[in-house]
Amino acid sequence: MRSVSLILALVCVGMETQEEGSPATTNVRGAGYPQIGKDGRITFWLKALEAQRVELQPGGDDNGLGRGPIAMNRGEDGTWSVTTPAAVPGFHYYWFLVDGVAVNDPGSETFFGWGRQTSGIEVPDPEGTFYEIRDVPHGAVRAHWYWSPVMNEWRRAFVYTPPDYDVSIESRYPVLYLQHGAGEDERGWSSQGRANFIMDNLIAEGACRPMIVVMDRGYAQQGREENRFGEVLLGELIPSIDGAFRTRADREHRAMAGLSMGGAQTLQIALMNRDVFSHIGVFSAPLRGFDTEGAYGGVFRDAERFNDRVALLWLGAGTEEPRIHGPLKAAHEALKGAGIESVFVESEGTSHEWQTWRRALRDFVPRLFREE
Amino acid sequence: MRSVSLILALVCVGMETQEEGSPATTNVRGAGYPQIGKDGRITFWLKALEAQRVELQPGGDDNGLGRGPIAMNRGEDGTWSVTTPAAVPGFHYYWFLVDGVAVNDPGSETFFGWGRQTSGIEVPDPEGTFYEIRDVPHGAVRAHWYWSPVMNEWRRAFVYTPPDYDVSIESRYPVLYLQHGAGEDERGWSSQGRANFIMDNLIAEGACRPMIVVMDRGYAQQGREENRFGEVLLGELIPSIDGAFRTRADREHRAMAGLSMGGAQTLQIALMNRDVFSHIGVFSAPLRGFDTEGAYGGVFRDAERFNDRVALLWLGAGTEEPRIHGPLKAAHEALKGAGIESVFVESEGTSHEWQTWRRALRDFVPRLFREE
């Protein structure tokens, strides 16, 4: 009887594992965990023989993995695991707390967020094909290095060039400057955000014009000094891009957008430099004290002039980030009241996370450079 | 007296910190540690309030940080630190062991090595300007995606295009296929290896011909299946590169090189496919049972034919990796005895680490595609 039970037990374990799901696509090669079940539940796993306490810490309290820290259970072999409820689709940062110390998951790729390299997991979305790699022509993401006299350093930006860039060698392209959020960097939009695949898919569908997308680091400061990113962008990055790539180097063919901190930077930089940018995208920017009179040098006071000059002012947020969504929607309403044309687009069911911003990019980009 | 001592202590701490050196260039933005002193000693630091034991673990036993694990000392505030002896210049993987659990340093960038994302530190080398970013024209490193029917997956390779690639739009370029070592991936050569800066600097000096460098992932296997990378490279990657880039798509203008596991793959793939490759570079490959009679389908039996066909067979290793250096040098001698032309280049004072392979690339690349 005992051996029969053992065999049954083994069969059941095998079956359970199979039913439980598949390693996440964000796992490193060969890592079995984290594992995502067909029901969307995720099993996390860590070996920590001597630990007294191991917890799963989602990045933030509205992260789609649930509120943390989430206690993990010790197995007899000194491994720890936990299975979450069904997770929200999209990309979520996480780490483990091993006796209080933040530890990346050795089974996962890392992503620059929270000011450091952090584990992340991609939870599949049935409606997520727009950011998946598909069998369409692919543009390139290139590391572009430029010297910054302002910062006295070499800086790296990533530049997406559309699929026909190397073929249509006489063509010139409009440019979108696309910024990440706080604690992230120039890698965010292509790595976590999958901006290049979103662009490839939109271009393949004919849904947007082929364009160049420039993703730089939104920090230009030493220690606690003021952030001089605006100076770097306007005086150094844009000339460097216009020198190195076949751009259409005028305001009509230049857009700026950003998420969270990058959205606030976009408002500040693009609204104050309307001779440089004509299209503006503000994804989940935290607004405080927005008023249509005084804000941004009083740019909203003359609605007719603004509407004539700014081809697009796009505002958007997820419905599950109320402290961001509310003020942004209110700003949109106030702008409307002042006669300023803007659009407000919300992402249903998503929070202050990349899923909101992938959707924002998908909605924003087809509206760009449509004027001719 | 007590307050005077306290003030003196604070002053001394401040001075000591200043004298101790600078944050490593591999640190994340704003992280003070690890810190490299002018004397080459490195101070590592981690906050782990509840830990019983914290150690520094260099990646490997011949890593330039010393042999680990190295005990770290607990301060009264629950932070742990240790200062190493002067470290060997170059790039070293490391991690912390917190009560036995491998933990990345939150102050450091991560690099894919050891089969996972791992902390790494760049120790400056006075003779390292050849791999630093300099004020010369820069090529681009592009992510190139291609579909692999063999693996039924999209694969990513990184492709270096030389600085004049976008300007000399009629030019076609020779191609070097450049492979990483075990536990690393397609990011290794540009991230840890700085291959793009090495190429930029060599091209700027006129020391080598402008060329394209393709860096792919040397793994093409599911679970414990056989590695089918050779199949992928020959049947899928090369046609994809020749289709997407302005290459000179013949054997005379195609080279292959690799480090460690990638060197063994280079020997296997390039020597067995001399109709595809004409130049071969073997950096620190582990050799076992090399014989000039039977090896690689007996390719070394006809020296005259080999020398006529293979334009370059380059072998090299660091002097501080004796188990690799010895057999490779012996192979070179045996080849010489058999009338086979090869070169053997050693890297003085370096081990099975990226410093050896940066130097190898610097020596290898100027010897390529010189025949016309």
- Rounded to 5 degrees, φ, ψ at B58 are -65, 150
Q: Rounded to an integer, what distance in angstroms lies between the CA atom of residue A120 and that of residue A64?
A: 12
Q: CB B347: neighbour CB atoms within 10 A?
A: 24
Interface mutation vs chain B, best among A72, A95, A101, most B CBs within 10 Å? A101
A112 with B28: Cβ contact below 8 A: yes
A101 with B29: Cβ contact below 8 A: no
- Of A108-112, B63-67, B164-168, which has the strongest mean pLDDT? A108-112
**Tokens 């630190």 appear where?**
B81
Shortest CA gap A85–chain B (Å): 27
| B52 chain-A contacts, CB cut-off 8 A | 50
Shortest CA gap A25–chain B (Å): 12
B219 with A141: Cβ contact below 8 A: no
pLDDT computed for residue B291 by the predictor = 85
- Whether B262 contacts B281, CB under 8 Å: no
A107 with B98: Cβ contact below 8 A: no
Please, what is the Cα angle at A348 between A344 and A352, to 5 degrees?
80
Shortest CA gap A335–chain B (Å): 37
Q: What is the DSSP string of A284-352?
A: SPPP-S--TTTHHHHTTS-HHHHHHH-SEEEEEEETT-HHHHHHHHHHHHHHHHTT---EEEEETT--S
Any idea what DSSP says for residue A70?
E
* ipTM score of complex: 0.91
A109 with B117: Cβ contact below 8 A: yes
The tens digit of pLDDT for each residue in B94-112 reads 999 999 999 999 999 999 9
pLDDT computed for residue A371 by the predictor = 72
B144 with A140: Cβ contact below 8 A: yes
| A100 chain-B contacts, CB cut-off 8 A | 48-50
SS3 content of chain A, % helix, strand, coil (to 5): 30, 25, 45
Pick from B141, B145, B190: CB nearest A133 = B145
Q: Are strands B22-23 and B343-347 parallel, antiparallel or unpaired?
A: unpaired
Interface mutation vs chain B, best among A49, A50, A164, A245, most B CBs within 10 Å? A50
Pick from B30, B112, B169: CB nearest A169 = B169
- Whether B137 contacts B204, CB under 8 Å: yes
Q: Per-residue pLDDT for B13 more than 50?
A: no
- Whether B231 contacts B255, CB under 8 Å: no
Pairs of residues, one from chain A and one from chain B, whose beta carbons lie less than 8 Å apart: 110
Interface mutation vs chain B, best among A98, A119, A172, A261, most B CBs within 10 Å? A98
B104 with A104: Cβ contact below 8 A: yes
Please state the rounded mean pLDDT for residues B212-217.
Answer: 98
B101 with A103: Cβ contact below 8 A: yes
| A115 chain-B contacts, CB cut-off 8 A | 28-30
Pick from A51, A144, A245: CB nearest B99 = A51
A29 with B99: Cβ contact below 8 A: no
Shortest CA gap A140–chain B (Å): 6
Mapped onto helix, strand or coil, the DSSP state of residue A357 is helix
**Tokens 């490959």 appear where?**
B285
Residues of chain A with pLDDT below 50 are: 1-18
Residue of chain A whose alpha carbon sits nearest to that of B79: A101
Mapped onto helix, strand or coil, the DSSP state of residue A98 is strand
A47 with B101: Cβ contact below 8 A: yes
- Six-digit token string for B51: 């830990």
The tens digit of pLDDT for each residue in A123-172 reads 999 999 999 999 999 999 999 999 999 999 999 999 999 999 998 989 99
Residue of chain A whose alpha carbon sits nearest to that of B165: A166
- Six-digit token string for A339: 């006669």
Shortest CA gap A167–chain B (Å): 9
Q: Rounded to an integer, what distance in angstroms lies between the CA atom of residue B272 and that of residue B274?
A: 6
Q: What is the pTM of this model?
A: 0.93
- Whether A146 contacts A157, CB under 8 Å: yes
- Whether B253 contacts B245, CB under 8 Å: no
A98 with B99: Cβ contact below 8 A: yes
Residue of chain B whose alpha carbon sits nearest to that of A147: B135
B48 with A100: Cβ contact below 8 A: yes
| A116 chain-B contacts, CB cut-off 8 A | 28, 31, 106-107
Pick from A50, A142, A169: CB nearest B141 = A142
- Whether B37 contacts A227, CB under 8 Å: no
Q: Is A132 exposed, middle or buried (0-12, 13-18, 19+ CB in 10 A)?
A: middle
pLDDT computed for residue A359 by the predictor = 98
Q: CB A84: neighbour CB atoms within 10 A?
A: 21
| B98 chain-A contacts, CB cut-off 8 A | 98-99, 101, 103
- Six-digit token string for B63: 């890593």
| B31 chain-A contacts, CB cut-off 8 A | 116
- Six-digit token string for B343: 């070169």
Shortest CA gap B109–chain A (Å): 6
Taking the CA atoms of residue A295, residue A299, residue A303 and residue A307 in that order, the dihedral angle to the nearest 10 degrees is -120
A166 with B244: Cβ contact below 8 A: yes
Shortest CA gap B355–chain A (Å): 22
Single-letter residue type at B85: P
Pick from A30, A102, A110: CB nearest B110 = A110
Question: Phi/psi zone of residue B90: left (φ > 0), alpha (ψ -120 to 50 degrees), beta?
Answer: left
Length of chain B: 372
A219 with B29: Cβ contact below 8 A: yes
The tens digit of pLDDT for each residue in A275-330 reads 999 999 999 999 987 888 888 989 999 999 999 999 999 999 999 999 999 999 99
Q: CB B65: neighbour CB atoms within 10 A?
A: 23
Per the prediction, chain A carries an average pLDDT of: 92
| B196 chain-A contacts, CB cut-off 8 A | 143
Please state the rounded mean pLDDT for residues B182-210.
Answer: 98
B28 with A117: Cβ contact below 8 A: yes
| B102 chain-A contacts, CB cut-off 8 A | 106
Write out chain B in H/E/C secondary structure: CHHHHHHHHHHHHHHHHHHHCEECCCECCCCCCCEECCCCCEEEEEECCCCCCEEEEECCCCCCCCCCCEECEECCCCEEEEECCCCCCEEEEEEEEECCEEECCCCECEEEECCEEEEEEEECCCCCHHHCCCCCCCCEEEEEEEEECCCCEEEEEEEEECCCCCCCCCCCECEEEEECCCCCCCCHHHHCCCHHHHHHHHHHCCCCCCCEEEECCCCCCCCCCCCCHHHHHHHHHHHHHHHHCCECCCHHHEEEEEECHHHHHHHHHHHHCCCCCCEEEEECCCCCCCCCCCHHHHCCCCHHHHHHHCCEEEEEEECCCHHHHHHHHHHHHHHHHCCCCCEEEEECCCCCCHHHHHHHHHHHHHHCCCCC
Q: CB B222: neighbour CB atoms within 10 A?
A: 12
pLDDT computed for residue B96 by the predictor = 97
Per the prediction, chain B carries an average pLDDT of: 92
R_g (Cα) of chain A, nearest Å:
23
Confidence at B16, pLDDT banded by 50, 70, 90: very low
| A223 chain-B contacts, CB cut-off 8 A | 30
